[in-house]
Amino acid sequence: MDPLNSRCSRWFLAGAGGHAVVVYDALRASGWLGPIMVGDDRPGLDPGRFPGAELRCPALSETWETGTCIHIAIGDNRARKAFHARLHDAAGDLATIAHPKANRAASSVIGQGVFAAAGSIVGPLARIGRGSIINHNAIVDHECLVGEWCHIAPGAVLGGGVCLEEGVLVGAGAVILPGRRIGAWARIGAGAVVTRDIPPNETVVGIPAERHVRDR
């Protein structure tokens, strides 16, 4: 997985929370030595979390120079999608960032604005939709389909042929057995084992993941 984009002359990371720290580290680890801006709408950004970066508040306080690559470094799926809507008229395509220790099969397809953390694996013929996150040591096995704005948390495993619709959160250490389909904006609890299809907007926990928590 190519962690950088050759057309970039500088990077803008939207968001300054914990996920942004991980993305910033991956960008530096991949060898990027050029300028990085980190923008957030919350005041009081801590420069110690992003050494060498230029901090911006509010996040969208300027027009974009040619060659600026933009990545939305926000862990929450709905917030990430909402920020993209704000960017629509101000910027072009989102840029993908991958840690150099992320692994991707050559036959996989990675959408715009995806983040792949260290130790993550994307298997053969898998497809990752725009703006999704494959976090530390997460595994997306062969022929999976991950929709836009999903988040596969650290250590989670998608068996072969799993389909995630838009906005799904798969919690840390969760396992989805092969061939299951998870509906849009569903949430899979940390450590859960999913043995059935999950309807949209449902939150499930447990082993197996049969306990319904609430509709969103």
- Check residue 188 and give its pLDDT: 97
- Check residue 3 and give its pLDDT: 46
Rounded CA separation 200/90 (Å) = 31
Model-wide pTM > 0.75:
yes
Rounded CA separation 27/98 (Å) = 7
- Check residue 213 and give its pLDDT: 65
C-alpha angle 80-84-85 in degrees, rounded to nearest 5: 120
- Given a cut of 50, the residues of the chain with pLDDT beneath it are 1-4, 216
Q: What's the distance, CA 145 to chain centroid?
A: 14
Nearest CA to 163 among 107, 190, 125, 209?
Answer: 125
Which uninterrupted H or E stretch holds 158? strand 157-158
Residue whose pair of structure tokens reads 């595994």 in the numeric block = 139
- Per-residue pLDDT tens digits for 97-108: 999 999 999 999
- Check residue 60 and give its pLDDT: 83
- Check residue 65 and give its pLDDT: 74
Structure tokens at 210: 């049969």
Rounded CA separation 134/132 (Å) = 7
Write down all domains in the chain, each with its CATH number in brackets. Answer: 10-95 (3.40.50.20), 101-205 (2.160.10.10)
- Check residue 66 and give its pLDDT: 75
Rounded CA separation 50/158 (Å) = 32
